[in-house]
Every structure is written in C-alpha cells, then in structure tokens.
Amino acid sequence: MTAMTPEQLTKQVLAAYAGTPDPRLRQLLTSLIGHLHAFAVETGLTRQEWLAGVEFLTATGQKCDDERQEFILLSDVLGFSSLVDLINASDGATESTVLGPFYVPGAPVRAMGEQIGRPEDGSPTLVHGRVTDRAGRPLNGATLDVWQTAGNGLYDTQDPQQPRFNLRGIFVTGPDGAYQFRTVRPVSYPIPVDGPVGGLLRGAGRHNWRAAHIHAIVSAPGCRPVTTHIFDAENPYLDSDTVFGVKDSLIKQFRPAGPGDPADVSFVTDMDFVLAAGEDG
C-alpha cells in the first residue's frame, strides 16, 4: 500500500460533493474546496496554524452581535468585499463600494434638505445632486439611505451619547431626481480593533483608518440599487483606506460655501448618482 497523496484526498473530497443537486451550489463548493486544499498544500499548513485559523474564525463569530458584524469587517480588511463589488458592478452606473458593518436598516424618512445630525457633530455641510438613469433621465421616487459618523469618528451605534439614528436618514426624490440633505463634513475614523480583526491588522502592520466618507444606498423602482460612499477629496487616507473602499469616481470636493449657497452650511459637495435598469433590491 502506498500512502495517500494530497491530490488523491482532494479528488476524493471533490467527488463526495459532485452530486450536489443545485448546480450553482455545486460550482461554489467545488471551487471553494479546490482553492482551500490548494492553499493548505501550497503553504504546507501546520496543525497549529490550522487550529489558530479555527480559533480566529470562532472568535470572529463570537464578536458578532446585533450591531457588530466582525465577519463583514474581516471581509472588508481582506479586500474581499471590494472584490465582490467589482465583480457585480453595472457598466455606466455609479461605482459601488463596501457596505461596511455599521449599516442599520429602518432609518427615518426625512424631508428633503433636512439636517441628519446635531450642531455638535461637526462642520455643517450640504450634499446635493441628482439621481438619474444611465441616459441621464431623472429618477422619480429614488431613495437615498445615508449614514455616517459624527465628528468624534463614531457611529450612533458605537456612541451612547448620540441618539438612535443620529446622522442617518432616508431621502426620496421627486420627478426632477434631485436630492439634498444637510449633514456634517465626514472625518477619518479608525475601524474597531478590539476584536480578532484588530489582531489581524496589528499582525500585518497595517493601520486601521478609513478615508472620510458618507455612506449611501441609492435605489429606485426598476433599477439595481448601488451601495456606495462619497469620499472627501482632501482626506489623507484616500490611498491607504483600511478596507480598500476608495474609487476615484467617488472622491468629491467639499468646497467652502460661498455666495448662492445656503447660509447655514460651511461646506457644499455635489454628487450625482446613476442607476442601471434591473431588479429592485
């Protein structure tokens, strides 16, 4: 009897899953098993390293609760979330980027132009633009679900001093596709490093700062929704965003307000959103 080789074992495992009835699931499992086995063979993975991996993933799951999603954070810092975005992008639509772990569904629907934060949250900023289809036609009834941190770099869900849904809101366009909302100029913030993902970043010698941004999920009837950000062009972390979320087309100037701008804001930024036709949600 000759000893079993890694190749023989991989073949045996793949054969065991070859009968998976759902063709897409079969494809995903076959590819995943193939790459996972190849990873262990290529690196000569030790038992200790295998166990460390199991413990790391266990801790990642245990760090998750209703408001903390450590697995999404892990996917983000590995660039995997951004990769999935790229693979699923629609030509001609606004580029998407990571959802991140801080999205909370159910934000209040606000009046057009309303301020989503409090005076103490930062520099008052007007964000405005239009939501159109790829031909430039305005989209009526488009929904912008926006969220961001306060000037202290914390989301409401991380900060007991902020009321629930602070710096979050939903805005719905009219027939002209135009939108505007008041917020504060976004700041850089560190992603949380008190969990396993923090250990990973420390081990890799990477910083944990995100380039300043406002999150938006933009959707409209009959269109593919886009999950994206508006980045501040003057931010120092655009080239080294810890979750690889920055795309050139999403970088916008936050210009000082001038004559013709509302008197109650210090900065103004323009951001148009383009949606591709397709399935809602």
Strands 168-172 and 226-232: unpaired
Cα 225 to the center of its chain, rounded Å:
13
Report which of 246, 281, 251, 255 is spatially closest to residue 85, judged by C-alpha positions.
246
d(CA 34, CA 272): 42
CA distance 141 to 224: 14
Q: Scanning residues 101 to 120, which ones bind Fe ion (CB under 5 A)?
A: none
Could you tell me how many residues of this chain bind Fe ion (CB under 5 A)? 1
245 scored as a contact of Fe ion (CB under 5 A): no
Which of residues 100 and 198 has its CB atom nearest to Fe ion in the complex? 100
Query: Which span sits near Fe ion by CB under 5 A: 17-25, 97-105, 169-177, 258-266?
Result: 97-105
Q: How far is the CB of 230 from Fe ion (least distance, A)?
A: 11
* CA distance linking residue 115 with residue 113, whole number of Å: 7
Rg (CA), the chain: 22
Q: Which is nearer to Fe ion, 41 or 78 (CB)?
A: 78
Residues facing 229 on adjacent strands: 215
Burial profile 160-181: b = 16 or more Cβ within 10 angstroms, e = fewer:
eebeebbbbbbbbbeeebebeb
Which run of H or E residues covers position 59? helix 47-62
CB of 188 to Fe ion, least distance (A): 10
DSSP symbol at 13: H
CB 102 to Fe ion: min, Å: 6
Find, among 106, 137, 97, 109, the residue nearest to 275 by Cα: 137
Tell me the residue number closest to Fe ion, measured at CB.
Answer: 100
Pick out residues in 138-167 that bind Fe ion (CB under 5 A): none
Residue 229 Cβ, how far from Fe ion at the closest point, in Å? 7
Among the candidate windows 99-107, 112-120, 231-239, 257-265, which touches Fe ion by CB under 5 A?
A: 99-107
| Stretch touching Fe ion by CB under 5 A, among 62-70, 82-90, 100-108, 169-177 | 100-108
Q: x/- binding map, residues 48-87, to Fe ion, per CB under 5 A?
A: ----------------------------------------
Closer by beta carbon to Fe ion, 78 or else 104: 104
Six-digit token string for 278: 């397709």
Residue 78 CB, nearest approach to Fe ion (Å): 17
Which of 81, 82, 96, 100 touches Fe ion by CB under 5 A?
A: 100
Tell the smallest beta-carbon distance from residue 210 to Fe ion (Å).
6
Written as six digits, the tokens of 280 are 């809602």
Q: What's the closest the beta carbon of residue 73 comes to Fe ion, in angstroms?
A: 11
Which residues make up the interface to Fe ion (CB under 5 A)?
100
